[in-house]
Amino acid sequence: MLGFNSKEKAADGTVPEGADDLKPPQHVAIIMDGNGRWATKRGLPRIAGHKRGLNSVRKVTREAKALGIRYLTLFAFSTENWLRPREEVHGLMDLFRFYMRRECKVLVSEGVRIKFIGDPSEMPEDIQKLMVEAEELTAKGEVMTLVVALNYGARAEIVRAAARISERVAAGELTGNDITEETISAELTTSGIPDPDLILRTSGEQRLSNFLLWQAAYTEFLFVDKHWPDFDQTSLRQAVIAYNTRDRRFGAVRKTA
């Protein structure tokens, strides 16, 4: 599927300059960084940055769908984010509640399925319930899958997968020789989701911060010098244009070489 051509315009109806016949990545994953700095720069509490960040979540979700991206993953809360001040953690939990209560109907009407990755067991119980309800309510969405990483940590995810595989070996279901890359992928919370083609991080920081370590083996990276609340439809389109300039070889050589 082509991302931009005369038939498939972006959400605002425009075709970005120089963007004809671009191929959208199948899966874009985003580290939404810079909410705190965005707020601090304006003399606002950090939570005001997260609230603004929620607007970018909405804009980018709609635009990703319009561009033909099939999977959009958003890193919303890491296993390390519990170390933030209590007030900020509470504020973020309230935002997640608000989003799930308010946004699910919109996602259903747009054909977007929501899926959570990470360890839900450490989330507040009412949020766990909302997560299950949101997945059930949007389960029939076929246009795009919105993957929300909540209490997600890639190393913890790999450790859990290893523990589950060792249990299966102990139970005689598997032998050591049966363990392949597919066996491990199938035990991760991203099971069934293709690996990301593009991971982008906002706010200028250039690190992965324990995000999708296994899944990012051949992912392209893009670091955008904008705080997440300033990231909008145009920023996503520019990211897709940049992605289209990349030469992905997956360890092989170009066919034409």
Residues in contact with ligand FPP by the rule CB under 6 A: 32-37, 50, 53-54, 57, 74, 76, 81, 95-96, 99, 148, 203
Given the complex with ligand FPP, which of 167 and 205 has the nearer CB atom?
205
Q: How do strand 71-78 and strand 144-152 relate by DSSP bridges? A: parallel
- The CB-of-74 to ligand FPP minimum distance in angstroms stands at 5
Instruction: Give the CB-nearest residue to ligand FPP.
Output: 36
- The CB-of-194 to ligand FPP minimum distance in angstroms stands at 20
Given the complex with ligand FPP, which of 201 and 237 has the nearer CB atom?
201
Point out which residues pair with 150 in neighbouring strands.
Answer: 77
- The CB-of-60 to ligand FPP minimum distance in angstroms stands at 10
Candidates 5, 35, 81, 232; catalytic one: 81
Amino acid at 105: K
Given the complex with ligand FPP, which of 133 and 173 has the nearer CB atom?
133
| Max CA distance (Å), the chain | 59
- The CB-of-161 to ligand FPP minimum distance in angstroms stands at 24
Residue 4 DSSP symbol: B
Q: What are phi and psi of 207, to 5 degrees?
A: -150, 165
Q: What are phi and psi of 209, to 5 degrees?
A: 45, 50
CA distances to 96, 103, 116, 249 from 128, rounded to whole Å, are: 11, 16, 10, 40
Residue 250 DSSP symbol: T
55 belongs to the catalytic site: no
- The CB-of-190 to ligand FPP minimum distance in angstroms stands at 16
Given the complex with ligand FPP, which of 93 and 158 has the nearer CB atom?
93
Using CA atoms, how far apart are residues 22 and 15, in angstroms rounded to an integer? Answer: 11
Given the complex with ligand FPP, which of 26 and 81 has the nearer CB atom?
81
Exposed / middle / buried, residue 173 (Cβ in 10 Å: 0-12, 13-18, 19+): exposed
What is the arrangement of strands in the sheet containing 220-224, beginning at the earlier edge strand?
A: 112-117, 144-152, 71-78, 27-31, 198-202, 220-224
81 belongs to the catalytic site: yes
Point out which residues pair with 231 in neighbouring strands.
Answer: none
Exposed / middle / buried, residue 163 (Cβ in 10 Å: 0-12, 13-18, 19+): exposed
Candidates 12, 20, 33, 119; catalytic one: 33
Residue-level length of the chain: 257
- Residues forming the active site: 33, 81
